[in-house]
Amino acid sequence: MKALDELVDLLTRLPGIGRKSALRVAWHLLKADESYAAALAERIVALKSSVHFCSLCGSYTEEDPCPVCSSPARDHSLICVVEQPQDVVTIEASREYRGLYHVLGGLISPLDGVGPEELHLAELESRLADGEVREVVVATNPTVEGDTTALYLKRALEATGVSVTRLATGIPVGGDLEYADRLTLARSFRGRVRL
Amino acid sequence: MKALDELVDLLTRLPGIGRKSALRVAWHLLKADESYAAALAERIVALKSSVHFCSLCGSYTEEDPCPVCSSPARDHSLICVVEQPQDVVTIEASREYRGLYHVLGGLISPLDGVGPEELHLAELESRLADGEVREVVVATNPTVEGDTTALYLKRALEATGVSVTRLATGIPVGGDLEYADRLTLARSFRGRVRL
């Protein structure tokens, strides 16, 4: 069936969806309400047309500037630097952070040929120019590229006088020492805190 | 973001897609080509409008009767009885079976209140009326409902004189005795074949 094969081919291009999952989704759509399939199709198209980048922080938003950047209730002296726009959504979901964001659009990775000039660093520096920001929290992943980028940011922002911090690395809450890898364990020792 | 939340809500209704997978799919769609999202949306709608049930066997098809029912190359003396239309696609993918199909549209399940009259049995019996069919292979799953339905079919078709057979149950190819459950092991003993 051409209609089925074409849909399955497109579905398998989505992350985490193999051929079997794509088929299951297709069977489900065949059995589901016509209105559901229509709504899903409409929302897929609507997503791209209604979600854009915030011109200030670079995160995904439907209005520009984004609700975070334009909120007087947020702490405008604090900027959290993240790799990708979706990281903002992840951090917002934790309801812990009350400052602003800045999306780099990538991480420094010499192996992949990504240098600092590929990232939105100039935009970050210009946001620090008026002196309102006192702290930049680097929230890149604790990987080689994330660490490199964090270190680069620390050096690049040294002259501005803002304090540059980094998210704590260590054993996840609910985790088990036995299953923590050596690097994580080592880092959690180095980052130990007074009780 | 409303557009994102609405899409994620719809995606989580699909089988095997939880909230995290739905978000990953949404991020992927945001980054992907506009033409991909448009094609995916179009195919989702096209699926339901172009795929229907075959009026003879009840499987999914784009033409009626389906290519299997109308093919002179298939063995018209053999009918494989399956639970759902997608089972036909699964069996066709194995390229082992060359006969026709009949979709029951369910299985007998007293607990769920599904009796034989809810299934497409009358249609099966009328297909057997002209005497061309010599064998009915019951390919329902080896579950309580699948077994019950197979037994019911054997009795219901006794008068017609066609031979009723059932797919073999046993240890899957590449499987391991150690991981086979007791019922499967017992069945594979009962169904042992001479080498």
- Mean pLDDT score, B6-24: 94
Q: Do B86 and A44 touch (CB under 8 A)?
A: no
Q: Do B16 and A21 touch (CB under 8 A)?
A: yes
Measured between beta carbons, which residues in chain A are less than 8 angstroms from residue B47? 3-4, 7, 26, 29-30, 37
Q: Chain-wide mean pLDDT for chain A? A: 92
- Per-residue confidence (pLDDT) for residue B184, from 0 to 100: 85
Q: How confident is the model at residue B179 (pLDDT cuts 50, 70, 90)?
A: confident
Q: Do B43 and A86 touch (CB under 8 A)?
A: no
List of residues 6+ apart from A133 with CB closer than 8 A = A76, A77, A78, A79, A127, A162
Q: Do B48 and A37 touch (CB under 8 A)?
A: yes
> Which regions of chain A carry the CATH code 1.10.8.420?
2-50
* SS3 labels along A73-127: CCEEEEEEEECCHHHHHHHHHHCCCCEEEEECCCCCEHHHCECHHHCCHHHHHHH
Q: How confident is the model at residue B106 (pLDDT cuts 50, 70, 90)?
A: very high
Tokens linked to A95: 């309801």
ipTM for the predicted complex? 0.76
- Per-residue confidence (pLDDT) for residue A136, from 0 to 100: 94
- Per-residue confidence (pLDDT) for residue A28, from 0 to 100: 94
Question: What phi, psi does B110 have (nearest 5°)?
Answer: -55, -35
Residue B120 confidence (pLDDT) above 90: yes
Distance between CA B166 and CA B80 in Å, rounded?
Answer: 9
Measured between beta carbons, which residues in chain B are less than 8 angstroms from residue A60? 1, 4, 30
Torsion sign, CA atoms B170, B173, B176, B181: negative
pLDDT tens digit string along A51-61? 999 999 999 99
- Per-residue confidence (pLDDT) for residue B172, from 0 to 100: 86
Q: How confident is the model at residue B190 (pLDDT cuts 50, 70, 90)?
A: confident
Give the closest of A15, A39, A60 to B28, CB-based. A15
Spell out a b/e string for B161-177, using b for 16 or more CB atoms within 10 Å of the CB, else e: ebebebeebbeeeeeee
Residue with tokens 């219901």: B156
- Per-residue confidence (pLDDT) for residue A189, from 0 to 100: 83
- Mean pLDDT score, A37-47: 94
- Its CATH architecture, for the domain B2-50, is Orthogonal Bundle (1.10)
**Residues of B contacting chain A (CB within 8 angstroms):** 1-4, 6-7, 10-11, 13-17, 21, 23-30, 32, 34, 36-48, 50-51, 60-62, 85-86, 89
Q: How many beta-carbon contacts under 8 Å exist across A and B?
A: 129
Share of chain A above pLDDT 70, in %: 100
Q: How confident is the model at residue A162 (pLDDT cuts 50, 70, 90)?
A: very high
- Per-residue confidence (pLDDT) for residue A120, from 0 to 100: 96
Question: What phi, psi does B172 have (nearest 5°)?
Answer: -65, 150
Domain B60-194 bears CATH identifier 3.40.1360.10: yes
Q: Which residue has the higher pLDDT, B187 or A116?
A: A116
- Mean pLDDT score, A143-157: 93
Q: Which ranges constitute the DSSP H helices of chain A?
A: 2-11, 19-31, 34-50, 85-94, 121-128, 144-156, 182-190
Residue A49 confidence (pLDDT) above 80: yes
pLDDT tens digit string along A14-23? 999 999 999 9
Measured torsion, CA atoms of residues A87, A93, A96, A98, in degrees rounded to the nearest 10: 70
Q: How confident is the model at residue B186 (pLDDT cuts 50, 70, 90)?
A: confident
Residue with tokens 């849909």: A7
Nearest to A118 by CA among A126, A128, A107, A127: A107
List of residues 6+ apart from B176 with CB closer than 8 A = none
> Which regions of chain A carry the CATH code 3.40.1360.10?
60-194
pLDDT tens digit string along A91-120? 998 888 999 999 999 999 989 999 999 999
Residue A121 confidence (pLDDT) above 90: yes
- Per-residue confidence (pLDDT) for residue B29, from 0 to 100: 94
Angle at which helices B85-93 and A19-31 pack, to 10 degrees?
150
Distance between CA B51 and CA A22 in Å, rounded?
Answer: 16
- Per-residue confidence (pLDDT) for residue A148, from 0 to 100: 93
Closest Cα of chain A to B173: distance in Å?
19
User: DSSP letters of B111-177?
Assistant: GGTB-GGGSSHHHHHHHHTTS---EEEE---SSHHHHHHHHHHHHHTGGGT-EEEE---SSPTT--G
Residue A150 confidence (pLDDT) above 90: yes
Distance between CA A113 and CA A121 in Å, rounded?
Answer: 17
With beta carbons less than 8 A apart as the criterion, state whether A51 and B37 touch. Answer: no
With beta carbons less than 8 A apart as the criterion, state whether B44 and B33 touch. Answer: no
Nearest to A92 by CA among A83, A80, A105, A104: A80
Global confidence as pTM: 0.75
Nearest to A2 by CA among B67, B36, B97, B103: B67
Quick one: closest CA in B to A32, which residue?
A: B48
Tokens linked to A88: 């903002």
- Per-residue confidence (pLDDT) for residue B180, from 0 to 100: 82
